[in-house]
Structure 1
């Protein structure tokens, strides 16, 4: 992918801002959709990024469009709104959806994009805003392999590990499976920490025991600051987003007639905590669970 190709991004939130900053850092021309949900973009604009006020304007002025929004309803709105993305895609454009989405919706959108003689790949992310800012995201990519290879140099600007998963929609399927595992570990750990707190077990002793045994891993490392001192700054993932991701997973597994008893139990746990504190971050379920029972 040449340096001259123009890139557009829709969704410059906690994750999208890191993606945008690394694209600019690597010398690409970047156009950002103006939106109230964006993080501050002043630095990006000072580095040469452009700001536009409509999806139509962004679609008409860019060759590659990255979506980094909350989920399928937001992605579908971008495509199907009046004068939206689908109506204004340029022939040969490439849409890269980095959102977490329902795979059946992804496949449907990809067909609609293909009918416009454009291309669609799903490239959902794992890791956190910290790694996004550092250009060290993980990406799981679904779509035509030739298109994936064409955009891989761009993806390398903001991702450390990139896995080509297969046909379109496979990236989003694997992302939901990944998040079920990660969120499941988090739910189990949080319930265990809540039990330890109620038993007056020292947090550092608990961490030492888990680190030396079966609890060692990425989730424990992310949760350590909250376990020790209720500091959630290193894991600023909204519990509402976690619940959304689990809901997408159970929708997918329902469609596939898969076993999902464990997933439903985790989703019920998250729903119970959200009822207590709708704006909670994921680590805060430790405190919310400790208050129950």
Structure 2
């Protein structure tokens, strides 16, 4: 049963973590946050009136659940391990939920480390971007034990429209890799379609209005086609982060023997965007490299 008197901690207040932690606080949970840059934690505290801590261990102390949303595998390890890490502050019976998009290998490693202290663990990467985090409409892919998921699921509902347990530890991260593989192919296809239409002299906005009602419809078309047509990319999910995610997927593919030919190609296209200075542009900026041809 959901207990909103429980103490929860949120580690990492980036564009995703800041509003996610805010949703927990506004939904009645007692939230303590930690961020590597303390000024961001101060900003969060001023906006949501929760608590802040100087270290991950301090934030985790006394918490029933600790949520993590940082950059990559190494960032997760830095906030979990060591004298100031989450595991140093958590008591037995607590639960760690990692929302970072990271490797399945790390998820299994963390599950084992938590288990040694009788702490539960879920790998739970999210999809929906900054907008989804701000509106509380994220989708969460989860790996771990069913009992831990049952405990975490009603709490995650504060910022999720849907979450699902997909299997053992690492399954959430593997599902997120599939998510990013799909997005890479769809954005490249949309970019080529818009480039084709522009070269043909069509009113691409009018064309998108028509084809978005049929089989070509996608989230990317609905949410990114208009800004792509206008050449606006200073928002959204950064190319640098997408390349990080695709690297994780490509490394996993080498381990499990799968073939990701299109993903590898699109990853190189994103490298072209980085060379154009677009590392922080939204992933829809794949269209810009076609304008260079």
* Counterparts in 2 of 1:243 and 1:126: CA distance versus 1, 3 Å: same
CA distance in 2, matches of 1:289, 1:91: 54
Tell me if the contact between 1:68 and 1:98 (Cα under 8 Å) persists in the aligned partners.
yes
Cα offset, 1:279, TM superposition = 2.7
Matched, 1:280 2:281: yes
What's the offset of the Cα at 1:287?
Answer: 1.9
- Kept in 2: contact 1:13–1:38 (CA 8 A): no
What is the distance in 2 between the residues matched to 1:74 and 1:30? 21
Question: How far is 1:202 from its partner?
Answer: 2.4
Q: Is the 8 A contact 1:195 1:290 kept in 2?
A: no
Partner SS state of residue 96, structure 2: strand
Say if 1:197 and 1:287 are closer, same or farther in 2 by CA, change over 3 A.
farther
Alpha-carbon distance between aligned partners in 2 of 1:272 and 1:174, rounded to the nearest angstrom:
27
Partner of 2:155: 154
Q: Which residue of 1 aligns with 2:180?
A: 179
Which sections of structure 1, spanning at least 5 residues, go unmatched?
none
Q: Is the Cα contact below 8 Å between 1:11 and 1:38 reproduced in 2?
A: no
Give the aligned partner of residue 242 of structure 1: 242
- SS of equivalent residue, structure 1 residue 120: strand
Following the alignment from structure 2 to structure 1, what is the Cα–Cα distance between the partners of residues 48 and 91?
Answer: 26
Q: CA deviation at 1:80?
A: 2.8
Q: Per the alignment, in what secondary structure is the counterpart of residue 16 of structure 2?
A: helix
CA distance in 1, matches of 2:41, 2:185: 33
Deviation at 1:214, TM superposition (A): 3.8
**Rounded Cα–Cα distance in structure 1 between residues aligned with 2:67 and 2:121:** 10
- The verdict on how the C-alpha distance between 1:273 and 1:42 changes in structure 2, with shifts beyond 3 A counting, is closer
Decide whether the 8 Å contact of 2:63 with 2:90 is kept in 1. Answer: no
Q: Following the alignment from structure 1 to structure 2, what is the Cα–Cα distance between the partners of residues 83 and 24?
A: 24
User: Is structure 2 residue 223 aligned with structure 1 residue 255?
Assistant: no
Q: Deviations over 1:202-224 (max 9, x none)?
A: 22233135324442121101212
Task: Look up the match of 2:115.
Answer: 114
Number of residue pairs matched? 291
**For residues 44-69 of structure 1, what are the alpha-carbon distances to aligned partners after superposition, in whole Å with 9 as ceiling and x for unaligned?**
44543111111121122322100111
* Range moving further from structure 2, 189-198 or 113-122: 189-198
Aligned partners of 1:13 and 1:37 also within 8 Å: no
Q: Deviations over 1:150-182 (max 9, x none)?
A: 122101111111111111111111111111101
Q: For 1:166, what is the secondary structure of its paired residue?
A: coil
Root mean square deviation of aligned Cα: 2.0
Q: TM-score, normalised on structure 2? A: 0.92
Partner secondary structure for residue 132 of structure 2: helix
- After TM superposition, the structure 1 stretch with the greater mean CA deviation from structure 2, 183-192 or 133-142, is 183-192
When residues 54 and 40 of structure 1 are mapped into structure 2, their CA distance, relative to the original with a 3 A threshold, is: closer
Correspondence for 1:193: 194
1:271 aligns with 2:274: no
